[in-house]
Structure 1
Amino acid sequence: MPNHPEHPPKLSTTRIVAGEKPKRKRRAVEIIAVAALVALIGAGAAVASVTANNNAAKNDAAPQPSAAATLKLGYFGNVTHAPALAGLQEGIFAKDLGATKLSTQVFNAGPSAIEALNAGAIDAAYLGPNPAINSYVKSSGASIRIIAGATSGGAQLVVKPSITSAAQLRGKVLASPQLGGTQDVALRSWLAGQGFKTTPGGGGDVTINPTDNAQTLKLFQDGKLDGAWLPEPWASRLVLQAGAKVLVNEADLWDKGQFSTTVLIVNKSYLEAHPQTVEALLKGHVDSVKWLNTHKAESAAVLNAGLKVAAGKPLAQNVIDRSLTELTFSADPLAGTFPELLAHGVAAGVTRQADIKGIFDLGPLNKALKSAGEKPVSATGLGTQ
């Protein structure tokens, strides 16, 4: 029947075929799918960003500790540095360092060795304890660590034969190897204990001229010096070759005659970057000390050969023989004496009072000592062991 104008037309219905969704529902599904895809892309981007950041962090992180390609070692041409001389001459360091190339530099005194170490010219050094203490104090612990002892004893104040008492030193001219060095500190602090004033510039009741050891011998022979506080072999050379007499044997000033003359130190950054190399150095050091203590009959000849390399010529036999009677070789740094050594530096005016806890890192040394069948040594609360 035709539609009547009064009757509205019937609304058409949408036919739904099996498996086909209504357009409205299909659009909703499409929107959800797009949203999910965006979220997935965002999550992937986030993961990629985190991964990139982690990789960047790994790239920016400090390199992992490793064996060093080279080790630059400083030492003196003195008998007090016998562990270094023997270790080099007998090839002990070269053997224990393995693939690490060893280079060396010879110094006259500790402060100059410290300057070279802080400048990166050397990585480790044999030197006296006072320059090591001074460097540690000045850098607030950032510069060096003492990793072993080497030598005890072997330092004396030798003077003209006419000087028989401390009182006669007033107005005299004395020498030490270098301002702030261990013998310089010992001399200045001892003079302070005798009531004399000295200044780093050479003024005061007694004039102290820091002088190269070889030049000290010549000046004393020429009558231009009244005496000097020196390590071996220079004390023996002045006694045997220039007619000096011993006024003070430093061993007499310490409990049981034990005081540290030479220690082995390393740049703190080098220690952190190359602990394996430092362990190898310490193995060589322990082996060198052991060699000295088990080859006494031949040690003088070996040390003289090392001194010829370091100082240009060997010592007279009586000089090296006298020197060796004054020395003890040990990997123990005698850490318990370091507070007193610091006090000496303060009294001498070359350092300031400070906390030196942390100056020793003896863990690698004790590892080497254990491997060698020897007893561990103590940091006496001044570092790790």
Structure 2
Amino acid sequence: MKKRFVFFMIGALLILGACGGNSEASGSSESETVTIGYFPNLNHAPAMVAKQKEMYEDHLGENVNVEYQTFPDGSTFMKALATGEIQGGLVGPGPAMNNFISGVDVQIIGASSTGGTVIVSRDGSGIESWEDIEGKTFISPRVGCTHDVQFETYMKEKGITSERIGGSMTHVTGEPARYQSMFENGDIDVATAPEPWASVMEAEVDANVVIPTSDVSFGETLPAAVMVTSDDMIENNSEQVQKLVDAHKEAVQYINENPDVAIDITIEGIADITDQQLEKNVMESAWERTDFTYEVDADVIQEFGNSSYDLQFLKEKPNFEGFVNTSFIQ
């Protein structure tokens, strides 16, 4: 059962330091701030498009000041959501699930994209297929993150597991933007790479695709990123949540109708955050492995959670009742 008092206590202690407040009535004439969180990854392109095109601003209205905050991983994003530092945004389903189970008041209110997770190996590592990964070192953004679970689920089905659960693979973590330099230094053998970083490493350091998006577990069904907000926002400011979702849906539709422009916006958005200017041909390659959609299937989320439990990332088999809320995307 969710421990709602955890969120209440954290909020009570830290509300004075929160960047954005949602305590004002939605009809108030005073200006308030809504902060949107996202990552510098391709599957978060809807947030970058919405930011560049001022879609959130258009939907929320002139009395709402919209700010944006980027994060290196899901753990820091979810902490910001729990403390009211952000009011919503895009995050991997894994961190959202883990926090829901641990008692943080969070709901998925839409998807952002599917696909985009690619397992690549370092040139010279001798790894050409999944059989060669046994005993090697792999990297993911965080332990138990979305890309980690996808990879470890696939490998477990092949009979290979990480040292964490008695297997042979060594697991390290790091930001995807650093994968290329770690490959160049020989620090890691395999990367669970969210796009566009897989395509970057293919182009820059001759990385080999070992497990493509179409083959990795949940590769084409699981949302690579989901839109989330807090229970507090839904219960006390549902009108504003609807406007956030409407802006997000507009961004997804714009991406699908204007892919060339959306690619340029995403390249610029990633460069602003990471100082890495990606080549357009690299982004086009990454784009082909990604499908942008705001639709989300609760059954797939449950299956992914069950797999996280099987891999011992979770102590109990999860019950996601009340976690996926599709009422805003209808």
TM-score, normalized by length of structure 2? 0.85
Q: 2:114 aligns with which of 152, 159, 175?
A: 152
3-state SS in 2 of match to 1:82: helix
Mean CA deviation greater in 304-313 or 258-267? 304-313
Q: What is the deviation of 1:76?
A: 0.3
Q: What is the deviation of 1:297?
A: 2.6
1:261 aligns with 2:221: no
> Which position in structure 1 is the counterpart of 2:205?
242
1:66 aligns with 2:26: yes
| Pairwise CA RMSD | 2.1
> Which position in structure 1 is the counterpart of 2:7?
none
> Which position in structure 2 is the counterpart of 1:281?
244
> Which position in structure 1 is the counterpart of 2:5?
none
Q: Percent identity?
A: 24
Q: How does 1:117-266 map to 2 (within 5 A)?
A: 117-139=81-103, 143-161=105-123, 162-200=126-164, 204-253=167-216, 257-266=220-229
Mean CA deviation greater in 219-228 or 343-352? 343-352
Residues 152, 330 of structure 1: 8 Å contact kept: yes
Residues 157, 249 of structure 1: 8 Å contact kept: yes
Aligned residues: 301
Q: How does 1:68-107 map to 2 (within 5 A)?
A: 69-98=32-61, 99-107=63-71
Q: 2:235 aligns with which of 272, 284, 289?
A: 272
Residues 65, 272 of structure 1: 8 Å contact kept: no
3-state SS in 2 of match to 1:359: coil
Distance of aligned partners of 1:255 and 1:314 in 2 relative to their CA distance in 1, 3 Å threshold:
closer
1:341 aligns with 2:304: yes
Distance of aligned partners of 1:304 and 1:156 in 2 relative to their CA distance in 1, 3 Å threshold:
same
Q: What is the deviation of 1:340?
A: 1.4
Residues 124, 266 of structure 1: 8 Å contact kept: yes
Mean CA deviation greater in 322-331 or 339-348? 339-348
Cα distance in 2 between the residues matched to 1:284 and 1:238 = 33
Cα distance in 2 between the residues matched to 1:308 and 1:274 = 34
Cα distance in 1 between the residues matched to 2:260 and 2:302 = 36
Deviations 1:213-263 (A, max 9, x none): 122221111122101011111111111111111111232246893331011
Letter of the aligned partner of 1:69 in structure 2? E
Unaligned residue ranges in structure 2 (runs of 5+): 1-22
> Which position in structure 2 is the counterpart of 1:54?
none
Cα distance in 2 between the residues matched to 1:94 and 1:195 = 49
Residues 64, 273 of structure 1: 8 Å contact kept: no
Q: 1:304 aligns with which of 248, 267, 276?
A: 267
Deviations 1:30-70 (A, max 9, x none): xxxxxxxxxxxxxxxxxxxxxxxxxxxxxxxxx89636822
Deviations 1:297-348 (A, max 9, x none): 3221122222222323431112111111111111102323112111221123
Q: 1:360 aligns with which of 308, 324, 327?
A: 324
Residues 289, 329 of structure 1: 8 Å contact kept: yes
3-state SS in 2 of match to 1:71: strand
Cα distance in 1 between the residues matched to 2:250 and 2:161 = 43
TM-score, normalized by length of structure 1? 0.74
Residues 251, 258 of structure 1: 8 Å contact kept: no
Residues 154, 323 of structure 1: 8 Å contact kept: yes
Letter of the aligned partner of 1:330 in structure 2? T
Runs of 4+ deviating beyond 6 Å: none
Deviations 1:180-236 (A, max 9, x none): 210111122222222223245x97400010111122221111122101011111111
Cα distance in 1 between the residues matched to 2:116 and 2:301 = 17
Q: What is the deviation of 1:116?
A: 1.8
Cα distance in 2 between the residues matched to 1:196 and 1:254 = 14
3-state SS in 1 of match to 2:318: coil
Letter of the aligned partner of 1:188 in structure 2? E
Q: What is the deviation of 1:156?
A: 0.7
Cα distance in 1 between the residues matched to 2:231 and 2:273 = 26
Q: What is the deviation of 1:147?
A: 0.3
Cα distance in 2 between the residues matched to 1:255 and 1:225 = 24
Cα distance in 1 between the residues matched to 2:76 and 2:263 = 27
Cα distance in 2 between the residues matched to 1:329 and 1:261 = 10
Residues 72, 103 of structure 1: 8 Å contact kept: yes
